[in-house]
């Protein structure tokens, strides 16, 4: 079994208003880990020529607190195809598992604007280190319909990476901003911050699946995150998201996110009734 062990340092600015590492930052840790693995391999040149993320799936197991000790990330490679491969990650903090994840990546030719096949030499190393990966359960499929909460956002110039498009990790930030706006609109007592004294609960992310449809670029006009409610359990809510152009409806990414409603101590508690009413107003559709 080939497991690449990578250390990823934490920054104080990785923490959010709940005093733990923000869920979007965890996706950045995945990027740091796989970039280190690739840079220390015969395929390091792929980072310059073009290897892009097709999808992420992250399961959050425990909150990550600030620490001077780095996170340990075990990275494995599997499911190597003609143009794609899967990264599997196990994140731990001081021996405690905090997250598991998968990323599907493909090699991309920016000159033609399309994926390309691995060369023989590129694939040889991936085949050498690849191994069968354990089964990864899929989320139930939902999509955003005509009725959806809409949250406009603008891409910042600093959101672009060396490929000249919005980095894959920033999409998660856009979804998070949209959920904060939506949650506060549904029930102001459910807000992921300690800023308000009347906050009685919060929503903690348990799983986040994101699939990229096309590249997102910088422009002055805003894009929009459209959100619908897919499922409500006793203590959990599942959202369906899409990032789109509000002018022509072009979709850039789709996501499904499972959140658990919890009290200030992190103990799961029943979802407020206001969310059930919102699910009737903005229902997601089964795919």
Q: Tokens for 35?
A: 């970039």
Res 266: pLDDT:
85
Q: Do domains 1-136 and 138-287 have the same CATH topology?
A: yes
For domain 138-287, say whether CATH 3.40.190.10 is its number.
no
Q: pLDDT tens digits, residue range 95-117?
A: 999 999 999 999 999 999 999 99
Q: Which one, of 119, 118, 116, 85, lies nearest residue 102 by Cα?
A: 85
Residue 286's DSSP bridge partners are 142
Strands 202-212 and 51-60: antiparallel
Q: pLDDT tens digits, residue range 26-43?
A: 999 999 999 999 999 999
Res 171: pLDDT:
99
CB neighbours (10 Å) of residue 287? Answer: 10
Q: Whole-prediction pTM value?
A: 0.94
Q: pLDDT tens digits, residue range 224-241?
A: 999 999 999 999 999 999
Res 2: pLDDT:
93
| Class at the top of the CATH hierarchy for domain 1-136 | alpha beta
Question: Residue written as tokens 């979007």?
Answer: 24
Q: Which residues of the chain have pLDDT under 50?
A: 193
Residue 244 contacts residue 220 (beta carbons within 8 Å): no
Q: Which one, of 97, 76, 90, 118, lies nearest residue 29 by Cα?
A: 90
Residue 127 contacts residue 70 (beta carbons within 8 Å): no
Domain definitions of the chain by residue range: 1-136, 138-287
CB neighbours (10 Å) of residue 228? Answer: 25
Residue 91's DSSP bridge partners are 73, 99
Distances (CA, A) of 262 to 107, 235, 239, 283: 40, 8, 17, 23
């Amino acid at each position: 079994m080939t497991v690449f062990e990578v250390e990823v340092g934490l920054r104080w600015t990785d923490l959010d208003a709940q005093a733990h590492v923000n869920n979007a930052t965890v996706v950045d840790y995945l990027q740091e880990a796989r970039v280190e693995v690739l840079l220390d391999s015969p395929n390091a040149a792929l980072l310059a020529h073009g290897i892009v993320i097709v999808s992420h799936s992250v399961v959050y197991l425990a909150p990550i607190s600030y620490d001077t000790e780095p996170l340990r990330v075990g990275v494995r490679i599997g499911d190597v195809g003609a143009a794609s491969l899967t990264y599997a990650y196990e994140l731990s903090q001081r021996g405690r598992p905090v997250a598991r994840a998968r990323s599907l990546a493909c090699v991309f030719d920016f000159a033609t604007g399309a994926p390309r096949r691995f060369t023989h030499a590129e694939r040889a190393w991936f085949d050498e280190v690849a191994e069968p990966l354990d089964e990864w359960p899929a989320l139930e499929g939902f999509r955003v319909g005509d009725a959806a909460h809409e949250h406009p956002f603008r891409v910042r110039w600093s959101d672009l990476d060396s490929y000249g498009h919005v980095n894959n990790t920033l999409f998660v930030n856009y979804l998070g901003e949209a959920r904060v706006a939506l949650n506060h609109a549904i029930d102001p007592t459910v807000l992921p911050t300690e800023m308000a004294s009347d906050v009685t609960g919060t929503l903690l992310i348990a799983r986040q699946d994101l699939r990229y449809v096309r590249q997102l670029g910088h422009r002055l006009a805003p894009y929009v995150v459209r959100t619908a409610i897919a499922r409500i359990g006793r203590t959990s809510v599942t959202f369906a998201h899409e990032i789109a152009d509000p002018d022509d409806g072009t979709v850039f990414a789709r996501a499904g996110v499972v959140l658990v409603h919890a009290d200030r101590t992190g103990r799961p508690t029943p979802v407020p009734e206001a969310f059930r009413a919102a699910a009737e107003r903005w229902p997601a559709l089964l795919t």
